[in-house]
Amino acid sequence: MTEFYRSFNHYWAYSCIFALFLIPKATLAADQIAASRRTAIVRAVEQVQPAVVSVYVTFTEHVQRPYWERDPIYGFFYPRSSLVPLERTSSGSGLIVDSEGHILTNDHVIGSKRKLQHIEITLQDGRSFSADYIGSDTSFDLALIKAQGDQLPVAPLGDSDDILVGEWAIAIGNPFDVGVSVSVGVVSGINRNFPQVQGDYYYRDLIQTDASINPGNSGGPLINALGEVIGINSFIHTGSSNNIGSIGIGFAIPSNTARSFLDEITHHGKVRRPWTGILRLQNITPRLAEGLDLPSTNGALIVDLVPEGPAYTAGLRRWDALVAVNDDKIITAQQARLVLQGFRVDEQCTLTVMRDGETLDLTLLLTEEPQRPGRWY
């Protein structure tokens, strides 16, 4: 029996010694695992997510009365009498960019200003505030609203010129109104241009990402692994006319473009509309191309412009063929209009034109649109 107790005591002593070595190692392993969970992505989300809001826009839409409520005779002569107002609410996302409560979002999230009734924003901490509409830049699908609240979290805009293709890209927003959500991918490309209008907007110089972006993400931020806001998520490409959700091709407006928009609002109280002094553009037909000694029908023909206007001062003349603006090759007159409308007042751009068989590069300084009747570009 004495031998048994002696063996038991030895076993217990060895077990205690072993435990003294094992417990610190187990604790260390747990600490390492806990530390490994807090990745750069987690830290970046923690930094920006509190400033991401859900945006709810209430608007009035006129719809047809039920057929049994319509007067067929009166409705024939007064078609609008069969319409009744109906309040509806749409949702999107936004980003608080300063301590005064200014929130950056997409213009298409706000929708028609004539139908707009009320804007409400909801924060991550559960607080809700009314918001006032401040202004929009329809050339870039950006809008600014202001929340009627205090002690709001802020996520300042970063530098979108400092982007690496292939680096982490994190999209934060309120897809399908399920609540603010996070999706992760990479920066797939930069300086993406869409020559055709997407909805009501012409997009250029976009950031492409494969981070999942869906309806409701619009207006939310795209951030990098440092927690810097590099873009405003705006739309997706699905390869189809059907809205089938994200297939990994999403686009964000660069943060520097958004900062330029904010500067316009801050310093001028509005987005000043740039003016070139070009009165009329048209597509180039095969007959025009032959008559003007042009190599192809690509480009936009300058039909009329304001004497002494910015374009005229830059050296542009009637019947010049505008074939490029900076690095954008011009194919149609519509594209030329949209590209020119995308510049800011006091910005310069290079116009490449063909005249009498020669190619000329002209420097255009855009000014603010004058208060005159007529159509300007």
C-beta separation of 229 from 255 below 8 A = yes
Quick check: 23 pLDDT over 80?
no
CA distance 187 to 167: 6
Query: What are the tens digits of pLDDT across the range 270-303?
Result: 888 889 999 999 999 999 998 888 999 999 999 9
Q: pLDDT-based confidence at 338, cuts 50/70/90?
A: confident
Q: pLDDT-based confidence at 244, cuts 50/70/90?
A: low
pLDDT of residue 13: 58
Cα–chain center distance at 161: 16
Quick check: 4 pLDDT over 60?
no
C-beta separation of 113 from 133 below 8 A = yes
Quick check: 75 pLDDT over 70?
no
Q: pLDDT-based confidence at 2, cuts 50/70/90?
A: low
26's enclosing H/E stretch is helix 2-37
Query: What are the tens digits of pLDDT across the range 206-218?
Result: 999 999 998 899 9
Span 345-351, average pLDDT:
93
Top-confidence residue, 134 or 369: 134
Query: What are the tens digits of pLDDT across the range 353-377?
Result: 999 889 999 999 999 988 764 454 5
- Which domains are seen in the chain, by residue range? 47-147 (2.40.10.10), 168-268 (2.40.10.10), 274-368 (2.30.42.10)
pLDDT of residue 17: 56
CA distance 237 to 50: 28
**Amino acid (one-letter) located at 367:** T
Within 10 Å of residue 362's Cβ, how many Cβ atoms? 18
- Residues labelled catalytic: 108, 141, 218
- How far apart, in Å, are the Cα atoms of 210 and each of 29, 87, 215, 250? 34, 35, 15, 6
| DSSP per position, 284-330 | PPHHHHHHTT-SSS-SEEEEEE-TTSHHHHHT--TT-EEEEETTEEP
pLDDT of residue 313: 94
pLDDT of residue 77: 52
CA distance 349 to 366: 8
Q: Which two tokens stand for residue 107?
A: 């213009």
C-beta separation of 307 from 327 below 8 A = no
Q: pLDDT-based confidence at 169, cuts 50/70/90?
A: very high
The overall average pLDDT reported for the chain is 85
Q: Which two tokens stand for residue 40?
A: 């750069």
CA distance 41 to 167: 11
